[in-house]
Amino acid sequence: EALQAHVEGRADQFSCEYRMRCVDGSFKWIFSRGRVVDRSAGGEPLRMVGIQSDITAHKDMRLQLDETDSSLKALLSGMTDGVMISQNGQCTFSNLAIQVLLQCTEAEMKHFRCEDWVHEHSKPDWEKIFISAQEGTDFARSRHHELQMLSKTGRSLWVELIVSTLQLQGKLSLMIIVRDISQKKQDEQLIWHQANFDFLTGLPNRHLFMDKLENEIKRSSRAGGVFSVMFIDLDNFKEINDTQGHEHGDKVLQEISRRLLGSVRESDTVARLGGDEFTLLIPGLAEREQLGALANKILGNISHPIEIAGNTHYVSASIGITAFPEDTVAADELMQNADQAMYSAKRMGRSNFSFFSATMQMLSRSKNELLNDLHRAVACSEFYLAYQPIVNLNS
């Protein structure tokens, strides 16, 4: 057919592969290529030139490669993990497991490039894996890679990739084994959430709050910024627990949490340290007038009646406030300062707030030193009787 097309002028030259029978009865594969170089006045071909090559060895090798490729693909097809084979980024093979995972057909897999199935957030990671595998560096081969993929329906999947290179039909290819680890990632996220958030209120716990506080200190130190910390303690929460029970108390804490979140900006952090203690991290705010207005807003929102199962509860709070870097630049000291200011607010009466001052720290230190001295004096028998009045109760 190729020769006929050329002779009739429908092709500039002809080339084809065919088998020829040899004298000894064996067959050889021949490759022929040529063209007409002389035609008659009527266009009939008079003379042709061309070449003929024995390609039997090449055909045998190609057949062996095809058989090897077919065996490999048959093996990969039965794997429970998803498998893709890519040449220059184009998917040339996919097994049933990856088709089920991505909710697509084999034809659809071949229609798209491998990177088309990668989630936008993971494209840089995929690019790094793909390039390093093509270049033969150790990055792609030496470890498992975790990234996000997208199914045909848009469902996000966390997968683990194992990438290796191989030769298929004489071409460099990438074999990508894909394992679904979405459940593992969900479990990890659940464990992380349980370790960093309060189960009752859903607020960050002490551990996460301190982590955010440390990060805010670093950020503000670099940028020359300011922020404040508030320590909030409910004044009469113990009475609710004692008289109404812990179930009522838990619902009160949940309502207080909602009111605190409704009192601050999205950029602020509200956390529950435990019991009836809450903290606020307020980036970019350190002016006393603004902080006082915020504290009054919080106290007002908390003071509104809380209705639970037909019972009305009235709750108030005491708030201590400290500022970075005015008061201190250390996380532990900021927490101590806010705590001391909160106790100062309690001494002033319920539903109040107080700013930290160095005097509070000195008074607290003096009180602790006095308590330590008294304990030591008792232990060392340093007390003595200086005066004892004698009283007649009858007269």
Give CB contacts under 8 A, 24+ apart, made by 185-191: 185/158
- The one catalytic residue among 198, 235, 268, 276: 276
Please state, in angstroms and as integers, the Cα–Cα distance from residue 245 to each residue in 77, 201, 242, 250, 314, following that order.
61, 17, 6, 9, 15
Q: What is the DSSP letter of 22?
A: -
Taking each helix axis as running N to C, give the angle between helix 331-347 and helix 206-223, from 0 to 180 degrees, rounded to the nearest 10: 110
CA distance 196 to 106: 43
Q: Is residue 276 annotated as part of the catalytic site, yes or no?
A: yes
CA distance 314 to 306: 6
Residue 87, SS3?
A: strand
The dihedrals phi and psi of 383, each to the nearest 5 degrees, come to -85, 145
Determine which helix (DSSP H) or strand (DSSP E) holds 202, and give its type and residue range. Answer: none
Beta-strand (E) ranges in the chain? Answer: 14-21, 27-39, 45-54, 82-87, 90-94, 145-150, 156-168, 171-180, 227-234, 269-274, 277-283, 306-308, 311-313, 317-324, 352-355
Q: What is the DSSP letter of 268?
A: S
Spatial neighbors of 50 by CB under 8 A, at least 6 apart, are 14, 32, 33, 34, 35
- Catalytic residues, which ones? 276
